[in-house]
Structure 1
Amino acid sequence: MISIENAGNCTIFRVTGNVTANEIIMQAVPYMTGGQTDTSLWDFTRAGRVNISTAELKGLAGSLKQVSEDGRVRKVALVGSKTINIGLGKLFAAFAQMAGLPYTYKVFRNLPSAMDWLADNPDYSSVQQTGR
């Protein structure tokens, strides 16, 4: 399951339990075609398993490129968990860069580091530490 909340100018996608590529795309596409915030965080710290193949990961980046129209550079933090290998996030970040997505992706092992990185820019100063 993926829940969405806003914290200032940051959209937080909290993933719990098992999740598929289709569930991720069903949340990401409406967000990207609607009013986006300057930063976003995908929190996989409570995820049980991400059921996604390498081909689906590459397809996800391609699908997001098709709906990314404004060309504005935004920061996206991906936070793994003990059971979700951060290598999966790094692989997605590489596919996103190859697809030409206008976002800066960074992968983290914990939420505080990700929130610090998102807030580390005057343009993104509205991002605050959020409770869980």
Structure 2
Amino acid sequence: MISIETIDSCTIFRVTGDVTANEIIVEATRYLAGKQTDTSLWDFSLAGSVKISTVEMKGIAESLKLFQTDGQSRKVALVGSKTINIGLGKLFAAFAQIAELPHTYKVFRNFDDAMHWLGG
């Protein structure tokens, strides 16, 4: 499950339980199609498992590329406490760079460090 909360100029996506690539794409595209905040944070620290393949990870990056941007580069933090979630986050950041997504993605092991990097 993915819950969404906006605090000041940051949208926080909290992932709990099991999550699939499709659920991530649905929430990410819904966010990108609407009004975006200055920063966003995807918190996977409470996720039970992330059911996603390497091909699906690349597909998420390619899907996000289809959205028009306002020309502003934003910061996106990815938080995971388990080794596999950190690895998946780093893999996604690499795919995002290859896909030339306009935002800067960085992976963290805890929420507080991510919020500090985002400036909040």
TM-score (norm 1): 0.88
**Can you list the C-alpha shifts for 1:7-46, whole angstroms capped at 9, x where unaligned?**
0000000000000000001100010111000100000011
Is 2:54 the partner of 1:54?
A: yes
- Gap runs ≥5 in structure 2: none
Q: Partner of 1:103 in structure 2?
A: 103
Amino acid of the residue matched to residue 99 of structure 1? A
In percent, how many aligned pairs have the same letter?
71
**Can you list the C-alpha shifts for 1:31-78, whole angstroms capped at 9, x where unaligned?**
011100010000001100000000000000000010143231000000
- Gap runs ≥5 in structure 1: 120-126, 128-132
TM-score (norm 2): 0.96
Q: Partner of 2:69 in structure 1?
A: 69
Amino acid of the residue matched to residue 15 of structure 1? V
Which stretches of structure 1, 4 residues or more, deviate above 6 A after TM superposition?
Answer: none
Residue 16 of structure 2 contacts residue 47 of structure 2 at CA under 8 Å; is this kept in 1? yes
Task: Please report the RMSD computed on the Cα atoms of aligned residues, expressed in angstroms.
Answer: 1.0
Partners of 1:44 and 1:67 in 2: how far apart? 24
Residue 61 of structure 1 contacts residue 96 of structure 1 at CA under 8 Å; is this kept in 2? yes
SS for the counterpart of 2:95 is helix
